[in-house]
Chains A and B, each alone.
Chain A
Amino acid sequence: MNRTKIRNLTAQTGLILLILLMFAYFGFNYIRNISQRNIEIGYGFMDDTAGFSISQTLIPYTEADTFGRTFVVGLLNTLLASVISIILATLLGFVVGLMRLSSNKLMSQTALFYVELLRNIPPLLHVLFWYQVVFLNVLPPFKESFKLGEWLYINVRGITIPSFVPQDNSIPFHIITFISLCAVIYVGIIKKQMVLRGIHKRLWPWQVLLVLVPVAYAWLFKPYSMVLPQITKFKFSSGMTIRPELFSVVVAMATYTSTYISEIVRSSILAVPKGQLEAAKSLGFPSYRRLQLIIIPQAMRTMIPPVTNQYLNIIKNTSLGMAVAYPDLTAVFAGTTLNQTGRALEVMALVMVTYLSISLVTSLLMNWYNSSIIDRKGDLISKEDIPVE
C-alpha cells in the first residue's frame, strides 16, 4: 500500500468514528434525559387511546381510536391533498406554459404576469392567503351562503356539494366505467398510431359512443343516489363538504407549483428542435396534432425529471397545511400526537421515514414512467415501434 491509500483509509475510518461518537453522545444524552422524565422509549404508545378528534378523516375515526390510527388518518390526508394538488398543478402548469408560448401577446404576457407574481411569494403565504383572506374574510357566513340552486353552497365553513351514495348495482357500474375508459384510451392509442402511419380515419365517434355506455347505464339504473345538502339548524346534515383547510392547501399548492411546472413545460417545448415543428407543418399536421404528436412527446423527455422534483415538492409542501390546521401527517401526528404523548424522537423519526418513503415511491414511479417512454439511448420508444415502410 502506498501512502495516499493509507492516508485515505485513516481519514475515512476517522470520519466514521467521529460520526459514531457523535451519535453515541447524543443517544446517551437522550436516554438520560428521557429516563429523568420517566418516559418509556419505544413505539408502545401507538396502541394507546388517542382521545382527540380530527376535523377531516378519510377512514372512520373516533376519539376512542389509537394513536396508531391517527398516523394513518394523517397520512391519508397528506396523500389526498398531495394527489389533488399534483393533478391540478399539472393541468394549470401545462395551460400556463402553453399560454406563455401563445402567439397572442396578451395571453403570453398574462401568463408571464401570473408566473412572476405567484412564484416570488412564499408558499406558506399562499396557504394563509386562501384561508385567512378568501375564506374567512371574503366568503359569506353560514346563514347567507352563496347558493347555486340546491346543489352548491359556498360559505365560510367550506364548499358543500351533493354526496353520492352507492346503491346495490354500483359494482357493475364501476366495472363498466372502467372497461369503457380503458377502451377510450385504447382507441386513442390506435388513432395516434394510425396518424403516425399516415392513415387518417375518424375515430372520435367511437370514443363518444364508448363514453355514452356508462352514462346511459347511470341514467337508466341509477347506481348512485344523489343526496342534496340539507340544512338542519346550524349545520349541513347531508351532502359533502370540502373544508376550507383542504381547499386552501390544495389551491395554494396547485397555483404556486403550477408556476414552476409552466416554466418547465415552456422550456422543454422550446428545447425541441425547430426543424421538428417545421417538418410537422410541411407534412400538413393541424396545429393541435403538431403539439400532440410531434412536440409534446419530445418535450416530455426533458420534462419528466424536473416535474418529478416539483411533485416531490408538493408532497413535502402539503405539510404547510399545518398553519391552517389541515389535519395532515405533520399536523396530526407530529403535532397533536407528539404533544399528547411527549415521544418526540419516536414520532419525528416515523414522520421523517414516512415522508422519505413517499418521496422514494414517487420518484420510482416517475422513473418507471420515464423509462417506459424513453429507451436507454434517450430516444422516444414510440419512434422505433413504427415500422419503416
Chain B
Amino acid sequence: MNNKLYGRIKSIRHDYFNTPVNAVLSLVMIFLLAKVAIWFVNWAFIHAVWTGETSEVARPGGATWAFIIKKFRFFLFGFYPKQHIWRILVTLVLMGASFVPYFMKRVSHKVLVFVAHMVLWPFVIGLFLAGGLGLEKVSTNNWGGLTLTFILSALGLLYSFPIGILLALGRRSEQRIIRILSTVYIEFFRGIPLITILFMSSVVVPFFLPSGVAIDKIIRVVIGMTFFQSAYLAEVIRGGLQAVPEGQYEAADSLGFKFGLQQYLIIMPQVLKITIANIGGISISFIKDTTLVLIIGMFDLLGIVKPLASDSNWLGMEPEGLIFAGLVYWVICFAISRLTYKIEVKVNTLPATGVKA
C-alpha cells in the first residue's frame, strides 16, 4: 500500500514537478484550470435550471437547460409535423438496416451494396420524409434539426465517394484531356469556399433550368455539396493511389487484368486501407460543413437554434442552444474519429497481403 502511494507520488513528481520551471508552470496551470472548471460546473450544473415553461425561470450565472428539454423535439426533427415523426424514425431504421449486408460473409461484392444504397436511399428518404404514395406530403422547408444534418451528410458522402474515386483516377490518367479536366475540376472546387457553391445552388442554378422545371432546394444543396466534397475526396484517394507500390500494378498487368478489374480487385482495396484515416477526417469536416446551410436559410441542427430562441417564451436562449448544438457535433465528430482509428488498427492488423518490399 505504502509502496503504491510512494510510486504514485513519484510519478506525479516526475510528470508535473521535475524541474523548478515545470513546477511553477504546473501550479499556475492547476490554478487556472481549477478556476475555469469551478465556473463551468457552477454555470452548467449548480446554478442551472432544468424545468420551466418560459425564459423567466432563468437564473443569472446559470444555464437554462429547460429550454433544451422543452425544445428537444425541434433539435432532433426540426419543424417536422409531430404526428409524422414516426416516418423519420422509420427512415432512419431502414437506412441503418441497409448496412447489415456489409457485415454478411455471404455478400462477396460489397460494392453492389454501395450501389444499392445510392439507388435506394433517395427513394426511401423521398417516400417517407417528403411523402407520396398515400403518405401526406411534408414540405422540405419543414425538414430540420439533426435529421437534416444527417440527411445532408449521408447523401453527400454517399455520392461523393464514387465521383471522388473517378476524379482521382482521372487525374492520374494517361489520357491528357481527362487528366486536365479532372485537375481543373478538383482545383476549382478546392479553391472556392463552400458557401459560394451553396449560393450558386440556391440562387444561380434555378436560372440554368428550363422554365417550368424546378428542383427542390435540398436536392440542389446535396448536389452542390457532393461536387465540393468529391474534389477533396479525390485528393485523398489520389494520395492513396500514389502510395500503392508500382509492383502491384505490374503484377496485375502481368496477370492479364484489365484496367477496371485491376482497380477493383487489386488497387482500390489497398488504397482504401491506406487512406482510411484521411477518409475519416474528411467525413468529419464534411459533417461540420453541413452547418453552412444555415446561411442559405435551412434549419439544420445549428441553424435551428436561432428560430427556437426567437420564440417569445424563450427569448435570448442562444447561448444554451449553441452550446447544446456544439456538444452534439462534438460527440458525433469525436465518435467518428475514434471509429476510424479503431478501423485503422483493425485493418492494419490483418495478415499482410501482397509482396513484401
Contacts and interface: CB of A to CB of B under 8 A. Distances in A.
B264 interface: no
A103 B211 contact: no
A322 B195 contact: yes
Contact of B193 (A15, A317, A360): A317
Contacts of A348: 196, 199-200, 203-204
Contact of A26 (B178, B194, B203, B208): B208
A356 B191 contact: yes
A8 interface: yes
Given A15-B178, A106-B29, A348-B203, A120 B284 contact: yes
A122 B287 CA distance: 8
Contacts of B292: 124, 320
Contacts of A36: 211
B139 interface: no
Contacts of A359: 190-192
Interface stretch (A27-35, A176-184, A203-211, A235-243): A27-35
Contacts of B192: 316, 352, 355-356, 359
A323 interface: yes
Contacts of B237: none
A122 B289 contact: yes
Contacts of A323: 294-295
A330 B193 contact: yes
Contact of A137 (B209, B291, B316): B316
Contacts of B322: 125, 128-129, 132-133
A281 interface: no
A351 interface: yes
B344 interface: no
Contacts of B291: 122, 124-125
B40 to A, nearest CB: 12
A387 to B, nearest CB: 37
Given A15-B177, A132-B322, A348-B199, A122 B329 contact: yes
Contacts of A15: 177-178, 181
Interface in A1-23: 8, 11-12, 15-16, 19
Interface stretch (B2-10, B86-94, B330-338): B330-338
A117 B330 CA distance: 7
Interface in B278-324: 284, 287-289, 291-292, 294-295, 302, 305, 316, 318-319, 322-323
B353 interface: no
Contacts of B69: none
Interface residues on A, range: 35 or more
A12 B329 contact: no
A120 B288 CA distance: 8
A36 B33 CA distance: 64
Contact of B16 (A29, A106, A136, A355): A106
B25 interface: yes
A352 B196 contact: yes
Nearest to B204: A344
A121 interface: yes
A219 B52 CA distance: 61
B326 A125 contact: yes
Contacts of A322: 195, 295
Nearest to B194: A316
A226 interface: no
A110 B29 contact: yes
B42 interface: no
Contact of A106 (B25, B316, B318, B333): B25
A323 B295 CA distance: 6
B15 interface: yes
B51 interface: no
B18 interface: yes
Task: Tell me whether chain A's interface is mostly helix, strand or loop, or mixed.
Answer: helix
Interface in A79-114: 103-107, 110
Contacts of B99: none
B26 interface: yes
A123 interface: yes
Contact of A120 (B175, B209, B210, B330): B330
B20 to A, nearest CB: 12
A360 B275 CA distance: 26
A45 B177 CA distance: 37
B242 to A, nearest CB: 14
A125 B325 contact: yes
Interface in B179-201: 181, 188, 190-196, 199-200
Nearest to A30: B207
Given A12-B175, A15-B177, A319 B203 contact: no
Nearest to A23: B208
B268 to A, nearest CB: 21
Nearest to B325: A125
A277 interface: no
Nearest to A12: B177
A351 B103 CA distance: 46
Given A104-B25, A105-B16, A32 B211 contact: yes
Contacts of B181: 15, 19
A29 B210 contact: yes
A122 B330 CA distance: 8
A122 B208 contact: no
Greatest chain B CB density within 10 A among A12, A104, A121, A122 is at A122
A120 B325 CA distance: 12
B348 interface: no
Given A105-B16, A122-B291, 13 more contacts: A12-B175, A34-B207, A104-B18, A106-B15, A107-B26, A120-B334, A122-B302, A125-B329, A133-B322, A133-B323, A334-B199, A344-B207, A352-B196
30 contacts: A12-B175, A12-B177, A15-B178, A15-B181, A29-B207, A33-B211, A34-B207, A104-B16, A106-B16, A106-B25, A110-B33, A116-B334, A124-B291, A124-B295, A125-B326, A125-B329, A128-B302, A132-B319, A133-B318, A136-B318, A316-B194, A317-B193, A319-B193, A320-B292, A320-B295, A334-B199, A344-B204, A348-B196, A355-B191, A355-B193
